[in-house]
Amino acid sequence: MNQFSNVESYIRSFEGNAKEYLEQLRSIIHEVVPDCNEVINYNIAAFTLIEGGIRDEQIMIAGYKNHVGFYPHPATME
């Protein structure tokens, strides 16, 4: 299993639709929260919604062979 150091390398590790959808989600997150920071959390892409944001203040996205996952922490949905 690869260990990723940044979101860019994480997304580039995928092919096809998964890569395309991860890039789209990343773009949407940056559009909605321009000041978010990209981090790797649990070895998947995460976006902190406030500076130094902990898991409760993050949105995570993950790629799989046949789908992608979108994981907003319940507190971020407010």
Within a domain: residue 1? no
Within a domain: residue 2? no
Predicted confidence (pLDDT) per residue in 1-10, tens digit: 689 999 999 9
Which whole number is the average pLDDT over 22-48?
Answer: 95
Within a domain: residue 12? yes
Whether the pLDDT of residue 50 is over 90: the answer is no
Q: Which among 54, 63, 53, 59 is positioned nearest to 73, based on CA atoms?
A: 59
Whether the pLDDT of residue 46 is over 90: the answer is yes
- The range of the structural domain enclosing residue 60 comes to 7-77
Within a domain: residue 23? yes
pLDDT for 3 equals 93
Domains in the chain, number? 1
Predicted confidence (pLDDT) per residue in 63-76, tens digit: 998 899 999 988 77
